[in-house]
Structure 1
Amino acid sequence: MNQPLTPEHLAEIREREQAATKGPWGTYYDGKGTYTIQSGCRVSLDAGFTSDGDIATLHGEHGDGQTYVNADFMARAREDVRDLLAELDRVRAERDAFADRVDTLTAVAKSNKRHVQDMYAEVQKANRERDEVHRVYADERALRIKAEAERDGLKKRLSH
């Protein structure tokens, strides 16, 4: 399966899990090749191996490893499906929490970007103003130096 579970499909799986005979399930082997999947399997000192009832029977040949593997898979499926659904819920909740966090961080980053752009514009304006002040200062300094030179020249002429 390459597609995510649709909500409908997931709901169907949950319904089947809830409707199935309660677990835990186990297997009983008759020694001749037949495995019985049973619910509520337990061993007691007085009754020996007992269960709450049969779920399914798999017939194979004595020593047929595949029948055992299939029976074991079926018996464990009851708890495995429940556990996988719980894990899926946990992982999706974690994913959703991370998605919310990413949304928050994205909004903060966009706000910060606007703020940085505004600050950059202010710095650019301040740099232009500074450059203008430097230009005016340089012009005023040049005028002062010229005026001092003229003054010094006039003083020399008057003193002769």
Structure 2
Amino acid sequence: MSAPMTPDREQEIRAREQAATPGPWMRDDDQQRLERFVTDESGTLDINFGYLGNNNQADTEFVADARSAVPELLAEVDRLRAEVSNLSDDVTGACLARYEEEQDADRLRLALASAQRGRRQLRSKLEGLKQGYARLEARCTYIAKAAVSWRKEAEGRKAYGLTLRARVAELEAQLAEHERPSTAEAYPGELVMHRGLLGVLRVVAQHGDMTEVRRLLAEHANDEQAAYAEAPAAPRDLRPGAEAARLMIRDRPSMTADEWNARYPVTRDDEALTTVTRSRAWTLGHGAAVVSVEGYSGGIRLTHVDPAPGAAS
């Protein structure tokens, strides 16, 4: 394979083509002179190839045809060169387009991967929101149900509070009645018991402990009923509508009221004792013997009192 034509060789051929006699050229066999020539149409060109008998017809025709073939070949070279240039531009453009397409494909792949990650993250967040909503809905349902219960409880507390205030007012009225100079106690220690109960009820009512209030009122009712049963009958004007109570002794105390009174008379020596009795002992309806002392509301069971050493016996 021959080496590619250099630009200098190409320019040399083009220069010779331009300098040669214009064509077309043709072969001319002179029968008179018996010689073969290459000439042109004007007759100015006269290239003698010698005797007709020489075997040079091909050379003569090649030289004659070269005048037209060389320009045609140079023109074809120019055309092919332009086409190659255009194809090179097309190939370059195609390569650039392919490169851009590959870049776009890479960007699309990255965007797709990012979108898939974002989709998974959104799905995870959505699942978390669903779970949170379910918990919130359950909490709201619980609060709604609890609110009904709380409302009923509040209404009950309000109603019981009204009842308690009415009871406190009743006890205050009874206390005011007992504090009159002309009024006597219906049973020993009644005034002290009412005062103590009233103070306890006021404290408990502020804290809203209805169970403790019910217990205190029930205990006071039992103690009061037993005290009325043990005490002498009260005048009718002091206890309107009151009925005589029947004494019901369920069990015998460890020490009766009479035994206690005989052993430990009422004392007022505040300095000598930690506390002192403030009433005679009496037996309640359920059989418990009690006594009133300073600093305590109501009666204290005798089994809960420790007499000081040296007390009267």
Q: Partners in 1 of 2:132 and 2:50 — Cα distance?
A: 109
Give the counterpart of 1:118 among 107, 111, 120: 107
Q: Partners in 2 of 1:151 and 1:58 — Cα distance?
A: 124
Alpha-carbon deviation of 1:97? 1.2
Q: Partners in 2 of 1:12 and 1:56 — Cα distance?
A: 25
Match of 2:15 in 1: 15
Match of 1:46 in 2: none
TM-score (norm 2): 0.40
Structure 2 residue 119 is the aligned partner of structure 1 residue 130 = yes
Structure 2 residue 78 is the aligned partner of structure 1 residue 89 = yes
Structure 2 residue 40 is the aligned partner of structure 1 residue 52 = no
Q: Closer, same or farther in 2 for the Cα pair 1:58/1:118, shift >3 Å?
A: farther
- Partner-residue secondary structure (3-state), 1:37: strand
Given that residues 58 and 71 in structure 1 are in contact (C-alpha distance below 8 angstroms), is that contact kept between their aligned partners in structure 2? no
Match of 2:63 in 1: 74
Alpha-carbon deviation of 1:8? 0.4
Greater Rg over alpha carbons, structure: 2
Match of 2:6 in 1: 6
Q: Provide structure 2 residue ranges, at least 5 long, that are not aligned to the other structure.
A: 146-313
Q: Partners in 1 of 2:48 and 2:115 — Cα distance?
A: 82
The letter for the 2-side match of 1:102 is V
Q: Provide structure 1 residue ranges, at least 5 long, that are not aligned to the other structure.
A: 42-50, 156-160
Equivalent residue pairs, number: 145
Q: Of Structure 1 and Structure 2, which has the larger fraction of its residues in helix?
A: 1
Which one scores higher on RCO, CA 8 angstroms, separation ≥ 6? Answer: 1
Quick check: 94-103 or 106-115, which moved more?
Answer: 106-115
- Percent of pairs identical after alignment? 29
The letter for the 2-side match of 1:17 is E
Quick check: 16-25 or 72-81, which moved more?
Answer: 16-25
